[in-house]
Amino acid sequence: MKIKTRIKLIAKQVGTFIYNNRSNIEFAAGTLMVIGGTVMVIRKAEEAVDVKCEMERQIHNINLKDEADDWDDNGQRTQACLRMARTTIGGYLKAYGPGLAVETGGLVLMGISHATDRKEIATVSAALASTALEFANYRQRVKEELGEEKDEEFLMGKPVVEEKDGKVTITPEKAPSHSYLFSQDTNSNCSGESMMDIDFLENHERWLNIRLQKEGILWENDIARDIGFKANPDADGWGITALDDDGNTNYISFGLNKNTERARAYRNGKTDSFLIILDNMEPGVSKKMYRLFKYHNDWDCAIRE
């Protein structure tokens, strides 16, 4: 490879690295500038003390002349005060100016870094939202053409049937992170009697949907705790809003009435445990609070009407 070509390749790789890491570089440079500016200000402390002493000396001289009434006219005193002010301001600017300028430049760079991060996050969020929408449309087509059972099988693998001590457990091959196994081993609210447990889950599903429509937003961990599960670290920041992006009403579903082998077995009493899958939770719902505000505004208007 020719030297010129190698140099171009290296320059391109360096340029790509700088572009991909520009926010980190901006933040690091800004931090160094703030630290450097602070050090400069501290090192000029003695000069600042000299400026202060000079100011006090000039104020003292002005006061002495005031007491002795030793001014030729009022203009002379005004000039002395202005000279003292110019000397003081100029001295402080000379002492602290460079350091403060460097600190300001560092803060500006840190602000630019923050703006760059926000822009990149917005770009990634838009890409993820587009991907999620396409995936949701794909799953909807699968459900319409092949049924919910095939959709769940494609998503999480074939159901795994386990029997232990006379108890049957049916779970997907790959349980998603936003899932909760409702059983006597994992939840104190589970009685092991399928009819009682179905009543419990259906009642809580209805109650949570009432809360969602009244409050406008529910966090996934609030839903899990309401059923009797511990907080799920993977669910931090995830939740559901009363309205989706198109203004349609959202609902919380535990999947009890789905037409899948798992749900049918639980409804028919063949298994005493059920995997609750909250598949319509969204990350970062706090950023979509406009849905909540719009929802409550519509709710208030409906009440007034």
Q: What is the DSSP string of 66-132?
A: HHHT--SSHHHHHHHHHHHHHHHHHHHHHHHHHHHHHHHHHHHHHHHHHHHHHHHHHHHHHHHHHHH
Whether 65 is in a domain gets the answer yes
Mean predicted confidence (pLDDT) in 284-297:
55
Assigned domain for 147 exists:
no
Q: Domain of 24? A: 3-140
pLDDT digits (tens, 9 = 90+) for 46-103: 888 888 898 888 888 888 888 877 777 767 888 888 888 888 898 888 888 889 899 9
Shared domain check, 185 and 294: yes
pLDDT of residue 301 exceeding 60: no
Query: Are 185 and 292 in the same domain?
Result: yes
The token pair at 177 is 């992170």
> What is the Cα–Cα distance from 57 to 87, expressed in whole angstroms?
12
Q: Which of 140, 166, 196 is the last residue of a domain?
A: 140
Residues 89 and 131 in one domain: yes
* Domain end point (choices 110, 140, 170): 140
Average pLDDT in the chain: 80
What six digits make up the tokens of 106? Answer: 């560092």
Q: Considering 84, 111, 140, which residue would you say is the last residue of a domain?
A: 140
151: pLDDT strictly greater than 80: no
Task: Please tell me which residue, 255 or 2, carries the higher pLDDT value.
Answer: 255
Domain match, 173 and 124 both: no
Tell whether 69 and 197 lie within a shared domain.
Answer: no
Confidence of residue 256 (pLDDT cuts 50, 70, 90): confident
Q: What is the pLDDT of residue 169?
A: 57
In three-state secondary structure terms, 280 is coil
Q: Structurally, how many domains does the chain consist of? A: 2
Q: Which residues contact 224 (CB under 8 A, 6 or more apart)?
A: 180, 230, 231, 232, 235
Q: What is the pLDDT of residues 8-55, one digit of tens each?
A: 888 888 888 887 788 888 888 899 999 999 999 888 888 888 888 988
Do 36 and 84 lie in one domain? The reply is yes
pLDDT at residue 147 is higher than 60: yes
Largest CA distance in the chain: 112
Residues 162 and 300 in one domain: yes
Same-domain status, 172 and 46: no
Q: Answer yes or no: is 150 within a domain.
A: no
Residue 213 lies in a domain: yes
Q: What is the DSSP letter of 1?
A: -
pTM above 0.75, yes or no: no
